[in-house]
Amino acid sequence: MTIEEVQNDIIDEFSMFDDWEERYQYMIDLGKTLPLIDEKHKTDDHIIKGCQSKVWVHAEMLNDKIEFTADSDAIITKGIIAILIRVFSNQHPKDIIEANTDFIDKIGLKEHLSPTRANGLVSMIKQLKMYAIAYQTQLN
């Protein structure tokens, strides 16, 4: 699936819920399905700076695509990173770099987060794209 197709699936899934209580619960459930980072990668080198909670992300290049794993010490934050990893994992670095993240506004996520969590969301996206830039540089 392309990044846009995954984003459209997420928009469709979130549109099934009437209120934000249900959407938060769905995010928590998504966090439980997150491909967990190996404990050896739970180091300061893998922590996303700018998040109130601890969020660790590891990226690995497999067959010209980046595979992400992650974890967080907070359930909502774990759900947020799970959504982002679902969108960006197993994609080519170039596609990740060029990806639009409007789907976040379309599902209403940013407006329903506290300012610190919204800043953390931006930091997560930035870090995932930085991994993509680093891998894209290696490919060139």
Rounded to 5 degrees, what are φ and ψ at 71?
-160, 160
Q: Which residue of the set 51, 109, 121, 124 is catalytic?
A: 51
Pair 123, 115: CB distance under 8 Å: no
Mean predicted confidence (pLDDT) in 9-28: 94
Query: Where residue 71 sits, what CATH number does that domain have?
Result: 3.90.1010.10
pTM (2 d.p.): 0.94
Question: Active site includes 51?
Answer: yes
Structurally, the chain folds into a number of domains equal to 1
- Provide the residue range defining the domain that includes 58: 3-139
In angstroms, the CA 54 to CA 73 distance is: 6
In angstroms, the CA 58 to CA 107 distance is: 26
In angstroms, the CA 26 to CA 42 distance is: 25
Per-residue pLDDT tens for 121-136? 999 999 999 999 999 9
